[in-house]
Amino acid sequence: MQKPIIVALSIVMTICVGIGSVLAGNSLVAQSIGVSVGVGNSTFSKFAASEDNIIDITGKYLIDDDVALLAGLGLETHSGDVNGSYFGFSVGVRKYLNTDDFALFVDGRLSYINQSVDGDTKTIDLSAGFGAEYFLHKQFSVDASIGFGFGVEDDDDKNKDDIYIGTRTIGVNVNFYFK
């Protein structure tokens, strides 16, 4: 009676280890290219023309196994009760602290935002973040991060400049890697 149970458990364990080996691994290797779609963790959601979060698209290029260059874009347009538009562009660098399937990282970004709702508001923002990326598959991952930033805002409508410093919203992204 014990022999069939041991054989069955051995087979199940072998299958589980095999599946784990197939799913293990990630695309954090030099010259990989990735695309992220997400919200939050910068000014992309701070100055939205509505209360909705801006969805930003960010490209990643890994120059080394643990260092990625980032370039992001956020767009939004409104009509009806609130007319306006939003354009945001960011560049940055991400340093992975480890390259496991659960990879911790720090990153820094420089963002330019132009929002037009009853006048133009232009913002330049420098932020740093800390987070984690979890690989569900070699090419698919999710990440979340929180940041801290400093920015300068020029409001043409109110004819005033603001300087701000503080935390950022929690950013959540879905990532796809091509290599």
Residue 38: per-residue pLDDT:
84
Q: How confident is the model at residue 4 (pLDDT cuts 50, 70, 90)?
A: low
2-177 CATH fold:
Porin (2.40.160)
Residue 59: per-residue pLDDT:
94
pLDDT in tens, 126-136: 999 999 999 99
Instruction: Evaluate if residue 142 carries a pLDDT over 90.
Output: yes
Residue 63: per-residue pLDDT:
96
Provide the token pair at 32.
């990989």
> Which of helix, strand or coil describes residue 115?
strand
Nearest Cα residue to 55 out of 71, 69, 68, 73: 73
Instruction: Evaluate if residue 179 carries a pLDDT over 80.
Output: no
pLDDT in tens, 17-58: 444 445 557 888 999 999 998 876 555 444 444 445 677 899
DSSP-assigned letter for residue 167: E
Domains of the chain by residue range: 2-177
| Phi, psi dihedral angles at 164 (to 5 degrees) | -135, 155
The most confident of the ranges 55-64, 70-79, 154-163 is 55-64
26 - beta bridge partners?
Answer: none
Instruction: Evaluate if residue 154 carries a pLDDT over 90.
Output: no
Residue 61: per-residue pLDDT:
96
pTM of the entire predicted model: 0.75
